[in-house]
Amino acid sequence: MNVKARAELEGITPYALGQTIEEIKEQYGITKVRKLSDNENVYGTSPMVRQAIIQETMNLSLYPDGVTSKVVEKLSAHYKIAPNHFLVSNGSEEILRLLTRAYIDKNDEAVIAELTFPRYRTNVLIEGGKAVIVPMIDGRHDLEKMLQAINEKTKLVFVCNPNNPTGTITAKQELLTFIASVPSHVLIIMDEAYFEYADSEEYLDTMPLLDEYENLVILRTFSKIYGLASLRVGYGIMHEEIAKELHKVRDVFNVNQLAQAAAVAALEDQNFVKDCSAKNSIERDFLSAKFKELEIDSFPSQSNFLYAFTNKPVIQKLTENGILVRQMLLPGYKEAFRITLGTREDHEFILQIVGQLFHERAV
C-alpha cells in the first residue's frame, strides 16, 4: 500500500484479546463458560445502577454532559477534594492516552515496570517517546531502580498499585520515599484501578499527598469493583493545571450519558463496594492457598485476581472445561496465567478440574 502510517506505529501490536465465550463454547462443545480472564466483578453491579440506567434511557437522543458535572460533583463530595482536581474519562485508559498526548514529545522518556499494564508503553511509543523498562523483583516494582532510571529526558513514571497483572503492591514507606524523590519535572502516574480491593496495612492511600506533590496524578475506575466495565468510565485526580492541559486534548463528549448516570449511582452504593471487597478477600485467600497445595504458586495479591505460575500443564485443561484465564509468560515456568477471582462455586469447580489433571498424570 502506498499510504504509510506514522513510523512510530511500526512494531506496535493491538492489545491482545482472548477468545470469546461463544468461540470457546463452539470449539469445545460446552454450554457454560466462566470468564475469569479480564478482572471483571463477578458479583455484577449495584441494583441502584441498573435503575439509574433505565431512567436515563429517556434521554438517548441528547448529547451527554460534556463536562460530566454530576459525576465530578459526586466524586468531589466522596473524596472531599475540590471539583477542579477531577477529570472523568472513557475508562481510566483514556487518561493514559491524554497524558502521553499532552506531555510526551519526540524522544521524551517514560519509566515503566517490566511486567505491568502494557498500554503505558504503547501510548508512550505512539507519541514518539521512549519507554524505559525496569525489571521487577518478585512481581513488585523496583522503585529504587526506577528512580535511578529517571533523567532530564524523563516526563512520566508509571506505578500500578496494585499492579496488573501481578496483583502486588509496593510497601507504604517505600512508595512514600519514591514519590518524595521523583524530580518535580516528572509526572508520577499512580494507576490505582484495583485500590478498593487492597486491604493490607502496607497499602498507601495517595490522596492526602495531592496537596504536597503537584506532579502526582492518581487514576481510578468504575470498571472493576463497581462493575461498570461495559460502560467505560474512569477518572483521574490531579493538580488543576494538569487537568486543564488534559481537557485541551480530550475528545468532546468523551463519556456517554448512560455511563455518567451509572457512575453517580454506583458511588451512592458504598455498601455494595464494601461487600464485594470483603467477599474478594475471602476468596483470594482461599484460592491462593488451594493453588499452593496443587503446586501452583502465585504472587501475594491485593487485587481481584491472582497471577499464578506452575510447571504443570493447567491452562489448556481449564480452557477445555470452560474456564477462561489470561495466559502470560514468566521465565522459569511452563505455565503462567492471570485468573480473576470468582465465587466459591467457581473456585471449587476450578480446583476439581485441576485436581483431576494431576490425578490423571499420576496414574
Q: Domains of the chain by range and CATH?
A: 18-44+271-362 (3.90.1150.10), 47-269 (3.40.640.10)
| pTM for this predicted structure | 0.94
Query: How many angstroms separate the CA atoms of 328 and 77, rounded?
Result: 39
Rg for the chain (alpha carbons), in Å?
21
Residue 360, pLDDT score:
56
Q: How far apart are the first and last CA of the chain?
A: 57
DSSP 112-172: EESSS-THHHHHHHHTT-EEEEE--BTTB--HHHHHHT--TTEEEEEEESS-TTT-----H
Query: How many angstroms separate the CA atoms of 150 and 174, rounded?
Result: 17
Q: Is 253 left (phi over 0), alpha (psi -120 to 50) or beta?
A: left
Give the phi and the psi of residue 289 in degrees, each rounded to 5: -70, -45
**Which stretches of the chain drop beneath a pLDDT of 50?**
362-363
Q: Is the dihedral of CA 248, 83, 219, 141 positive or negative?
A: positive
**Which triple of cell numbers denotes residue 284?**
483470594
Cβ pair 351, 296 in contact under 8 A:
no
